[in-house]
A and B are shown apart, each in its own frame.
Chain A
């Protein structure tokens, strides 16, 4: 979707303002929200791609005005409501409606260290040979999917060169929407800054993005 989350190339968002000696958390609730994201049980349809899509769907004014961990709050609440695991009334009150189910399979503290070591593996076998070879010129397609996609707007229609090939990876555009993993070849494409931003850009700088095969066409 052409959403507010697709920020690459925008002006006007102000200085970066790195903090000196930034604390781990800026308020205690941020730490609680981090722990909820990592330690709470999620509805089974909420894979990483759906999670990112939930965040993209935060209304633009809230996306820009609320902090990162608040994005997590909003995305998780949206997932809980969509799945029917919670009602809006319960979210509002902070208490379960009488007679609701109670689970007993939440992650225990002694399981946390193993959980943080557990890798999600996103590589997958794909039956087809890669369409593109390292060094080949390719164009990022000028497409505008309305659902989740990892093709940023700033590269669409632009020509780059295949820098790396990563084999098959889960395809987020399908996986976010319950359409299975639909793995495709994944490539890192290097785009010259002048191709992306015109003749004022630095002549030898480049930006690379990791793009799936169906985002690309020969150039």
Chain B
């Protein structure tokens, strides 16, 4: 189905041009045409596109956030600073950057469970967790996380008792939230690296507990 921008040809804030009725409905074709045009005009270098894709596929992922969490589990001083000044603490690990500029870390405890959402768009700590999963950016999660967080968590297989307080953090500004999950019991003997392997992306969004749910890697 083609979409229309032909009725909005003017340069006005409230009537932007969002496509063209004559462009192909297949996003693969549209995106290919856009890349060719941008390349022709010198607005993009296709090799730079390759480099960005490689960076997010291979280098910038939830292992970074997991390192932050594992360090907090083993180093009380780091944890204290992380909860007071996450941006400063994470800067020492070199993970600040694009979509990880001002960070707030919120701690799960037996009494409090934190959950992160962006109801207005899809704000996400890319620099710490990499590419956001599709469900995080889609309407069902954004709509329900703030009105029915317990129902949302149940859909992820996480049932919380009534005595646990659920705190939802809606990322409406340039602060990016990371959940510090509870350290699983029986892990006293594990090294920092072994602990990091227990920390999943979902646990740092708050839809899972650490060491509980296995999920897609990277």
Contact A17 B98 (CB under 8 A): no
Question: Can you name the residue of chain A whose Cβ is closest to the Cβ of B145?
Answer: A8
Give residues of chain B (23-46) contacting chain A, Cβ–Cβ below 8 Å.
23, 27-28, 30-38, 40-45
Smallest beta-carbon distance B101→chain A, Å: 4
Which residue of the partner chain, among A32, A70, A110, contacts B49 with CB atoms under 8 Å?
A32
CB closest residue in chain B, given A77:
B19
CA distance A6 to B117 in the complex (A): 12
Nearest CB of chain A from residue B20's CB, rounded to whole Å: 5
Q: Which of B9-17, B178-186, B187-195 contacts A (4 or more CB under 8 A)?
A: B9-17
Residues of A within 8 A of B49 (CB): 32, 35-36, 39
| A166 touching B175, Cβ below 8 Å | yes
Cα–Cα, bound, A172→B52 (Å): 27
| A118 CB to nearest chain B CB (Å) | 6
Instruction: Name the A residues within 8 Å of B138 (CB-CB).
Output: 13, 16, 68
Minimum Cβ distance to chain A for residue B218 (Å): 7
Partner of B122, one of A57, A66, A68, A93: A68
CB pair A209 B14 closer than 8 Å: no
Complex Cα distance A52/B18, Å? 13
Q: How far is the CA of A86 from the CA of B32 in the complex (A)?
A: 16
Contact A102 B42, beta carbon cutoff 8 Å: yes
Closest residue of B by beta carbon distance from A39: B48
Neighbouring A residues of B38 by C-beta, 8 Å: 36, 40
10 tightest CB-CB pairs across the interface, nearest first? A35-B49, A94-B33, A8-B119, A210-B173, A103-B42, A39-B48, A112-B51, A40-B44, A10-B143, A109-B51
